[in-house]
Structure 1
Amino acid sequence: MLDTNLMTQLSPDTLRTFVAAADAGSFTQAATMVHRTQSAVSMQVKRLESELARTLFNRQGRGVALTSDGETLYRYARRLLALHDEALSAITAPRLGGKVRFGAPEDYAARFLPQALKRFAAVHPMVEVEMRCDATPNLQKRFADGGLDVMLTTEETWHGPNRRRVDLIWIVAEHGGPLDERPLPLALFHSGCRYRRNALLALEKEQIPYRIAYGSPSMAGVLAAVQAGLAVAPVTETCIISGCRRTTAQDGLPPIAPVGIGLHLAPGKASRAATSLHAFMGNELGLTV
């Protein structure tokens, strides 16, 4: 049995300061985020490093960067803070009701949302979330027309509030993929997809001839063509399924420029339910505030 009297206590206050410093890359900027002085932030971090007997940040001039131990703690710290805030909301927040219209691309809905929506429902069981899965251009049009309250979309850049970088890779059938075929057969999303655009730009830059062998508005359709050994496709790493593998440098395909994901709240006077879902999803997905 663990002796809790001998264990270091990771207080939410300390973890919040640590996460702010990691996100900002600066104790000075973190101080503004947590409403403390720079010296107070520095002292909190030093105390945490001392208690853990680990160096969490490399000091680089006026900035800081996480060490490998810091990266490990950062992943847990975000989860601990999310659970802490969720527990407080569940106990103290007023009961919310109403409906929120939430849109997201299919691959994001499958990848990011199941557990996040489950936790949101635990905190706000009376809120009805109406999900719409569609391509980003269609979601953006619907959002502009007032048909969505919150949306998660693919973005050209990951810089800015409520955004995050997403890396793209090539995948091919584990056995018998068409890597040596020219023109290279591709399985791609619709013509407005940024995955598609970045992948084609990468091939054109390296002067690799290609042909679009399969097009699909859904991730399932793209993966089916790859799994069958009929094409290669640009996806995120978490989309790899049984029978497919990530390509390597030896396979000869060029790297694909990353994209961003962005979370948006409809302008104007949003409902409390919509505002709560937007804030909750931003925290769950680790998006930059």
Structure 2
Amino acid sequence: MVEEGGFSAAAKRIHRTQSAISLQVAKLEDRLGAKLLDRNTRSVALTAAGETFISYARRILELADEAALAVTAPDEATLLRVGFADYLAPQHLHTLLARFRRAHPNCDLSLILGMGADLFPKLKNGELDLVFAGPEGNKGDILWDEPLVWTGTLPADYQPSQALDLVLMPSPCCYRKIAFDTLTKIGTPWKLAIEANSVHAVQSAVRAGLGISVLPRSVLGDKLPRINDTLPKLPQTSLASYVARGTTHPYAQRFIDFLVSCVNESSMESRRVKLKAI
């Protein structure tokens, strides 16, 4: 209910009526002897007890998922070599890897972060078993989409005739081409102020006020400003999985499914705590 943003959406998700969910919440509050939700005619919000309870509930569900994965995991010990385009790596990737490792103690993980263009040859040459990158590769399976956004700070007196300082990664980064093409299409001048070799370097330069950039929304975090209305809207990007052709790794698909599940959980948890009224 919290993740879905209200009773109505939660009822639809689990195929129950709103009244049935409301009754279950009331029974749970009675059993715990604590009020979990504050309700009025306009909204529903978690109480302090509700926030404490839901944090434990999420941990319990997380452990249950790990237990199910561990019981059904292949028995053979093996190494899964994963390449991840750092411009699309989910936040807290190290935490996700630790969870997967706990659930699959027979699977050792080797992780390489880098540009997608550098990872694809390694996959083709058999140096990697699995690559996560943007849609620029061939024959990948799209896992999720997200918007690209402009990030940085424009001058207070910015005019469209002013040349924009750009902070971008080297070619053949697809975001670089999108930035150039988008600005050229509307006749806005630009110059490449900094060519950074990683997302971390791009983020650092943007935070220092050295220019603006194009990044997936999930990469912005809390410290990078977003430019909303001044510059033209950017297209969607996507994350795709690429598996070495002709090979079937016993853990590759399990890792893909696990990553998608964790990202979906993270997306739901980031929604507002306040819920819509019934």
Q: Which has the higher helix share?
A: 1
Contact (CA 8 Å) 1:162, 1:264: kept in 2 or not? no
Aligned pair partner of 1:97 in 67, 73, 77: 77
Amino acid corresponding to residue 105 of structure 2 in structure 1: P
Structure 2 distance, partners of 1:79, 1:187, is 39
Partners in 2 of 1:83 and 1:202 — Cα distance?
A: 45
Aligned to 2:211: 231
1:1-289 map, 5 Å:
45=15, 47-52=16-21, 84-109=64-89, 111=91, 113-155=93-135, 161-173=141-153, 179-180=158-159, 182-240=162-220, 244-249=224-229, 252-286=230-264
Q: Deviations over 1:133-161 (max 9, x none)?
A: 1111111222122221111001159xx84
CA distance, structure 2, for counterparts of residue 242 and residue 278 of structure 1: 27
Distance 1:89 1:278, change over 3 A: same
Q: Following superposition, which runs of at least 4 residues in structure 1 exceed 6 angstroms of deviation? A: 78-82
Q: Give the Å deviation of 1:275.
A: 3.7
Which whole-Å CA distance do the structure 1 matches of 2:103 and 2:237 have between them? 31
Aligned partners of 1:275 and 1:243: how far apart in 2?
Answer: 34
Q: Structure 1 residues 177, 146: closer, same or farther in 2, change over 3 A? A: farther
Paired position in structure 1 for 2:52? none
Name the amino acid aligned to 1:214.
I
SS in structure 2 opposite 1:116?
helix
Is contact 2:142-2:238 (8 Å) kept?
Answer: no
User: Are 1:162 and 1:282, in contact at CA under 8 Å, matched by a contact in 2?
Assistant: no
TM-score (norm 1): 0.65
Output the CA distance in 1 between the equivalents of 2:82 and 2:168: 25
Contact kept, 8 Å, 2:167 with 2:205, in 1: the verdict is: yes
Q: CA deviation at 1:280?
A: 2.3
Any idea what the Cα deviations from partners look like across 1:171-212, whole Å, max 9, x if unmatched? 114x86895582111000121112222222221221111111
The letter of the residue matching 1:169 is: V
Give the conservation status (yes or no) of the 8 Å contact 1:104–1:152: yes
Aligned length: 223
Assess if the C-alpha contact under 8 Å between 1:263 and 1:278 holds in 2: yes
Q: CA RMSD in A?
A: 3.7
Taking every aligned residue pair, what percent have the same amino acid on both sides? 25
Residue 261 of structure 1: how far off its partner (Å): 0.6
Secondary structure of the corresponding residue to residue 128 of structure 1: strand
Q: Would the alpha carbon gap of residues 165 and 149 (structure 1) be closer, same or farther in structure 2, given more than 3 Å must change?
A: same
The Cα shift of 1:80 comes to 8.8
Q: Given that residues 194 and 259 in structure 1 are in contact (C-alpha distance below 8 angstroms), is that contact kept between their aligned partners in structure 2? A: no
- SS of the residue corresponding to residue 168 of structure 1 reads strand
**1:213 Cα shift?**
0.8
Contact 1:116 1:284 in 2 (8 A): yes
Q: Is the 8 A contact 2:123 2:243 kept in 1?
A: no
